Amino acid sequence: MTETENPVPDFAVPVPRAGSAEVPVDATVVDNAVLTPFKVFYPGNPEHFRGAIYTDDGNLVSQSQRGFGPGQTQFVPDDPERLPNFGSEPRHLDGSWFYGGHWMNHFGHFIIEALPAIGLHRPGYAGLLFHRFIWNGEPSSWQRELLRLAGWDPSTPISIVGGEPGPQVTVERVSIERRPVVLGLVASKRAVEIWQEVARRASAEATAEIGHHPKVYFSRTHLNHDNRFTRNDRVLEDRMAERGFHVVHPQELPVAHQLALAANAEVIAGIAGSNLLLSAFAPAGTRIIEIGNRRNPVQGQHMQRALSAATGHLHVFLPYAGGRSARNVVPTLEAVDTLLKGK
């Protein structure tokens, strides 16, 4: 490969996408709030959904809705302006609750969307309140651990409003803020501050145990049913290890160790996907090598670029090389060698 045939891109902080302005807090408190059940439906465009908060006189609280970028058609909030009548006896929650948006039972989405929406511990709440999302399930140990690192007591009550068929939920008092991340479009300064504080706490706990690794490769090869996997992905990580990268299978490590590795690395590499979103916990100036896969062959994930734009990461995307079932590792490794030469 020569520079004239296929020049290697260099590290750079990505330019934010058009329309990705800072997300305002827009905090509000609603007494006698009503939460409608989560529902996915298909009104001509794929996967719109409902499930939001309404005032006691039936008006939609727009801050409770998940944001979306221009041109997005998947999982767009489409709640009516006035409270619909489901005709069922509501479930009631006493006390003052903080609304954390949608409970994401998916590692990448929890890190990028749910954790910043929840934020660092806020005293005075009876618990955390959420709508469910397309991944159903109860809070897991790794989610509780991320909340602990954000300062929340692991025993904090978590109430998740489910889907239909199910009753509306009424709440004595709920605090709502506009969410600081719009998926694929923008991560606000508020989100970055939360990730960095969580990373600081994880580093204080775990760095002595894991040691210092300037170059970290977050692998996906031990995941079950990975729809991004192609043959030679393991060869690629073996060759990255030969180049001094500490190869990590994140799901096999304690959460604090994962975050501390990201927070202390100078270079983070990995195949595009939720594993690489651990870079949210890396400081400004960290170099990020996003490697294409069969789902993202010529362009990286929008959220990875938005994340690097917000955090000040020096990001580069290396296109996928190979066929549908097998990766050609040679162009990728040549590009990595060029990127790291003399650095």
Select from 276, 242, 241, 272 the least CA-distant residue to 261: 276
Q: Show the domains of the chain with their CATH numbers.
A: 28-179 (no CATH), 189-340 (3.40.50)
Confidence of residue 230 (pLDDT cuts 50, 70, 90): confident
| Minimum mean pLDDT range among 88-92, 297-301, 316-320 | 88-92
| Structure confidence at residue 7 (pLDDT) | 80
State whether residue 174 is helix, strand or coil. strand
State whether residue 68 is helix, strand or coil. coil
The whole-number average pLDDT for the span 304-333 is 95
Confidence of residue 298 (pLDDT cuts 50, 70, 90): very high
| Structure confidence at residue 200 (pLDDT) | 98
List all residues 6 or more positions away from 135 whose beta carbon is below 8 Å from its beta carbon.
104, 105, 106, 109
State whether residue 222 is helix, strand or coil. coil
Confidence of residue 168 (pLDDT cuts 50, 70, 90): confident
The whole-number average pLDDT for the span 66-95 is 85
Confidence of residue 324 (pLDDT cuts 50, 70, 90): confident
Are the CB atoms for 36 and 84 separated by under 8 Å? yes
User: What Cα–Cα distance (Å) separates residue 326 from each residue in 12, 130, 270?
Assistant: 29, 41, 17
Confidence of residue 6 (pLDDT cuts 50, 70, 90): low
What single-letter amino acid sits at 2? T
The tens digit of pLDDT for each residue in 261-275 reads 999 999 999 999 889
- Provide the percentage of residues in the chain whose pLDDT is more than 90: 77
The whole-number average pLDDT for the span 98-111 is 96
List all residues 6 or more positions away from 81 whose beta carbon is below 8 Å from its beta carbon.
59, 60
The tens digit of pLDDT for each residue in 171-191 reads 999 999 999 999 989 999 999
- The two structure tokens encoding residue 339: 């990127």
> CA-CA distance, 100 to 308, in Å (whole number)?
24
Strand 28-35 and strand 169-176: the pairing is: antiparallel
> CA-CA distance, 40 to 222, in Å (whole number)?
31
Are the CB atoms for 178 and 23 separated by under 8 Å? yes
> CA-CA distance, 33 to 55, in Å (whole number)?
5
Q: What is the DSSP letter of 46?
A: T
Are the CB atoms for 297 and 319 separated by under 8 Å? yes
> CA-CA distance, 113 to 116, in Å (whole number)?
6
The tens digit of pLDDT for each residue in 308-317 reads 999 999 999 9
pLDDT surpasses 90 at 163:
no
pLDDT surpasses 60 at 1:
no
User: What Cα–Cα distance (Å) separates residue 81 from each residue in 46, 84, 132, 266?
Assistant: 21, 9, 20, 48
> CA-CA distance, 296 to 300, in Å (whole number)?
6
Select from 323, 30, 19 the least CA-distant residue to 176: 30
The whole-number average pLDDT for the span 77-97 is 88
User: What Cα–Cα distance (Å) separates residue 290 from each residue in 27, 41, 93, 161, 203?
Assistant: 35, 34, 44, 36, 23
User: Average pLDDT, whole number, for the chain?
Assistant: 92
Confidence of residue 66 (pLDDT cuts 50, 70, 90): very high
